[in-house]
Amino acid sequence: METTVLGYPRIGARRELKKATEAFWAGRETRAHLTETAAALRRQTWETLRDAGLSSIPSNTFSLYDHVLDTAALFNAIPERFAGLDGLGAYFTMARGADGIAPLELTKWFDTNYHYLVPELGPGTDLRLGRDRPLKPVQEYLDAWSHGIETRPVVLGPLSFLLLSKPAEHGFSPLALLDPLVDAYQQLLEKLHTAGAQWIQLDEPVLAADRTATELAALRHAYQRLGSHLRRPALLVSTYFGEIGDALPILAACPVEGIGLDFVAGPGNRAALAEIGGIGVKTLVAGVVDGRNVWRADLPGALSLCESLADLAGNLVVSTSCSLLHVPLDLDTETPLPPEIAGRLSFARQKVDEVVALGRALDGDDLVAAPIAAAAPRVNADIRARLGALADDPVRPPYAARQAAQADGLPVLPTTTIGSFPQTAEIRAARAGYQAGRITQDAYEAVMRTQIDQVIAFQEDIGLDVLVHGEPERNDMVQYFAEHLDGFAVTAGGWVQSYGTRYVRPPILHGDVSRPEPITVGWASYAQSRTTRPVKGMLTGPVTMLAWSFVRDDQPLRETARQVALAVRDEIADLEAAGIRIIQVDEPALRELLPLRRAGREAYLDWAVRAFRLATSGAADATQIHTHMCYSEFGEILGAIAALDADVTTVEAARSRMEFIADLAAAGFAHGIGPGVWDIHSPRVPSVDEIAESLSLALKVIDPARLWANPDCGLKTRGYAETEPALRNLVAAARQVRAEFAG
């Protein structure tokens, strides 16, 4: 019985990729050093998967920044503004921007917390195999082969590449480029065939979402052409993140040798296979081990599922449901986790073992272990009783009444930031010293207060209207709260890539959630005591806490969200009691959890909105509730954003040139809005004129009395070298536009 995985973490056991890449950007290391680090990480992955016993090993799943960006570079989808840059220079500039050059947009990869760079395609885009030689998929295949390891190159499929891209011109459909793109794929197939590759995996995750008749016709056309090409490896078309519906009979009829299906996020794929009578002699790569969550697999259940699939395909391959990119690397490195929790977990390395164990069991060589007898999640009867006594959907008084109560002397077009300020070396050293026991709690808190003093003074100096304390005490906007809430556990090294060199450690939500004591009140109160200007309290919303954690799977998400919302509600009440009158409850992941198919969206948005309102509805009319969202396609949740009923909503808008703000206004959004005017995910500093132009664009569709000026996101990952001039320019631009409006 064959076994495989669809992808593997690429960051390294000690985050070697992050360190090498950032050292290269800073000029501390050479390009050769980065290249050597990348090669070593790829080889470690191939050898790990080989030694674990997988019979088919993927390659080309490694990326220096993002696999969608890799695909754009592979097929020459490089916008004109990046012309003249060399290969690696163009690559990183497309990802991060440079002086005078805006980067590609960044958005969420389906319903995960991974972000991809959005290709820009227009009628003038010359899709063909790129200029890089050797080609990345071919070179990585040959590198693995040189170490005696046969691999299966993985490339994003043509339909997904086009449908995930952005039209460079209004009215243009990227699908118009399907034929030249398929031509380029055919050339790639030939080169891989010549190199000796036996299989190639083409990922088509867009098939897990609703697709139009035109898009399904494009799918058929693409794979009829690719499958009919004579000089090529065998084709595995892999799908994941859900059920593929009408695409299944199309792929079954196309001349491809294998189809990959996700039976974890898409349990209905089993019935769909049976309905069409199976896929004949084709290979079925069965995703039966969850690639996105960290709970140990129910191996007997997965074994039974695999046995039920055996007659529906010519050959069965056991696999993960998707790439293991979305889970931490190795549970064996985690020592602080309590045994009763660790015993329920499985990270990427352990999931490979689960796949191999299933393959051996199907061969009759071994019996899989019985389901793990883990302790039941801890139940908090008091929290459940409080939730039962609260209204299912509590709401605040009308926005107009709150707006009048919140009149506080702020100017038209007030300026603020999203929350965090740069995490300096001093902050990180103090945190590391405190965690290691080298400095006392009093000494640590003294360092944090000094940092808050500096951040408050800096904001007053540059003229921001609403201040923040800078969050020096927080390692991450989700992990920090998880560390202070019962029902969560955190890891020491469970890093997962969010984008580029931004890695996070998702907490593990394993039981009922409660807040033993106030979390942020002391820091917010101290910051407010240092200034006469308003300071925002900064909290993370219930949906984002769930989206960016690994969440218990024994009860509905809506019930878990209500427990987290109650903890946030209590924190808001304590902040109000301490005199904080502006409180931001961030929900950047609201769009992220939206089901890929429309049928499930109404129910999700209903409980997500109710959870936010449960968290915020206890606030007084005079308390101004803000929320923040970033880096997602928000068009499909405009109604839900309005239904949150936040007084002010700040959103990403810099890379998209205010496109979303126009959509929001057209949908009748009537609350305060803060469009991001500085893209903080790029090191470039926007000029005063650039920011003023963005604000002027926003003023065309937003009432000036409701408009705020702010960056796209928190500033934790930036340095003061960019933060200070960018924020000074933001304040200057707001004053300029404010004066023009007054005139």
The CATH number corresponding to 413-422+462-742 among 3.50.50.100, 3.20.20.210, 2.40.128.720, 1.20.1260.10 equals 3.20.20.210
Q: Are 88 and 79 in contact (CB under 8 A)?
A: no
**pLDDT number for residue 375:** 64
Q: Does residue 81 carry a pLDDT above 90?
A: yes
Provide mean pLDDT across the span 310-317. 96
Categorize the per-residue pLDDT at 660 as very low, low, confident or very high, splitting at 50, 70 and 90: confident
Domain 2-362 belongs to what architecture? Answer: Alpha-Beta Barrel (3.20)
Categorize the per-residue pLDDT at 743 as very low, low, confident or very high, splitting at 50, 70 and 90: low
**pLDDT number for residue 409:** 82
- Indicate the SS3 state at residue 695: helix
Provide mean pLDDT across the span 52-60. 98
**pLDDT number for residue 99:** 83
Q: Does residue 723 carry a pLDDT above 90?
A: yes
Q: Does residue 607 carry a pLDDT above 80?
A: yes
| Among the listed residues 713, 711, 739, the one whose alpha carbon sits nearest the alpha carbon of residue 415 | 711
Provide mean pLDDT across the span 431-455. 95
Which residue of the set 115, 626, 671, 681 is catalytic? 681
Q: Does residue 658 carry a pLDDT above 70?
A: no
**pLDDT number for residue 408:** 78
User: From CA 325, how far away is CA 67, in angstroms rounded?
Assistant: 11
Q: Does residue 655 carry a pLDDT above 70?
A: no
What's the gap between Cα 457 and its chain centre?
33
Q: Do domains 2-362 and 413-422+462-742 have the same CATH topology?
A: yes
**pLDDT number for residue 741:** 79
Mean pLDDT score of the chain, rounded to an integer?
94
Q: Does residue 529 carry a pLDDT above 70?
A: yes
**pLDDT number for residue 629:** 87
Q: What is the pLDDT of residues 491-522, one digit of tens each?
A: 999 999 999 999 999 999 999 999 999 999 99
Long-range contacts of 658-667 (CB under 8 A, 24+ apart): 658/694, 658/697, 658/698, 660/634, 660/635, 661/697, 661/698, 661/701, 661/702, 662/700, 662/701, 663/634, 663/635, 663/638, 664/634, 664/638, 665/701, 665/702, 666/701, 667/638, 667/639, 667/642
Angstrom distances, CA of residue 699 to CA of 340, 665, 708, 734, 741? 55, 11, 10, 12, 9
Domain ranges of the chain: 2-362, 413-422+462-742
**pLDDT number for residue 663:** 78
Q: What is the pLDDT of residues 250-278, one digit of tens each?
A: 999 999 999 999 999 999 999 999 999 99
Provide mean pLDDT across the span 7-32. 96
- 693 phi, psi to nearest 5 deg: -65, -40
**pLDDT number for residue 644:** 95
Categorize the per-residue pLDDT at 668 as very low, low, confident or very high, splitting at 50, 70 and 90: confident
**Higher pLDDT residue, 546 or 698?**
546
Reply yes or no on whether 469 is catalytic: no
Categorize the per-residue pLDDT at 368 as very low, low, confident or very high, splitting at 50, 70 and 90: low
Provide mean pLDDT across the span 98-103. 88
**pLDDT number for residue 667:** 80
Q: Does residue 365 carry a pLDDT above 80?
A: no
Angstrom distances, CA of residue 104 to CA of 115, 418, 654? 12, 22, 11
User: From CA 643, how far away is CA 606, in angstroms rounded?
Assistant: 9
**pLDDT number for residue 684:** 86
Q: Does residue 160 carry a pLDDT above 90?
A: yes
Q: What is the pLDDT of residues 675-721, one digit of tens each?
A: 888 888 788 899 999 999 999 988 888 889 899 999 999 999 899 99
pTM above 0.95, yes or no: no
Q: What is the pLDDT of residues 163-208, one digit of tens each?
A: 999 999 999 999 999 999 999 999 999 999 999 999 999 999 999 9
**pLDDT number for residue 133:** 74
Provide mean pLDDT across the span 577-606. 95
141 residue type, one letter: Y
Categorize the per-residue pLDDT at 8 as very low, low, confident or very high, splitting at 50, 70 and 90: very high
User: From CA 464, how far away is CA 88, in angstroms rounded?
Assistant: 38
Q: Does residue 370 carry a pLDDT above 60?
A: no
Q: What is the pLDDT of residues 396-423, one digit of tens each?
A: 999 999 998 997 789 999 999 999 999 9
Query: What percent of the chain stands above pLDDT 90?
Result: 83
User: Among 93-97, 365-369, 580-584, 643-647, which stretch is predicted with the lowest mean pLDDT?
Assistant: 365-369
User: From CA 352, how far away is CA 55, in angstroms rounded?
Assistant: 11
Please report the DSSP string for 555-593 in residue order.
S-HHHHHHHHHHHHHHHHHHHHHTT--EEEEE-TTTTTT
Q: Does residue 376 carry a pLDDT above 80?
A: no
Categorize the per-residue pLDDT at 656 as very low, low, confident or very high, splitting at 50, 70 and 90: low
Provide mean pLDDT across the span 45-62. 98
| Among the listed residues 84, 83, 89, 85, the one whose alpha carbon sits nearest the alpha carbon of residue 24 | 89
**pLDDT number for residue 161:** 98
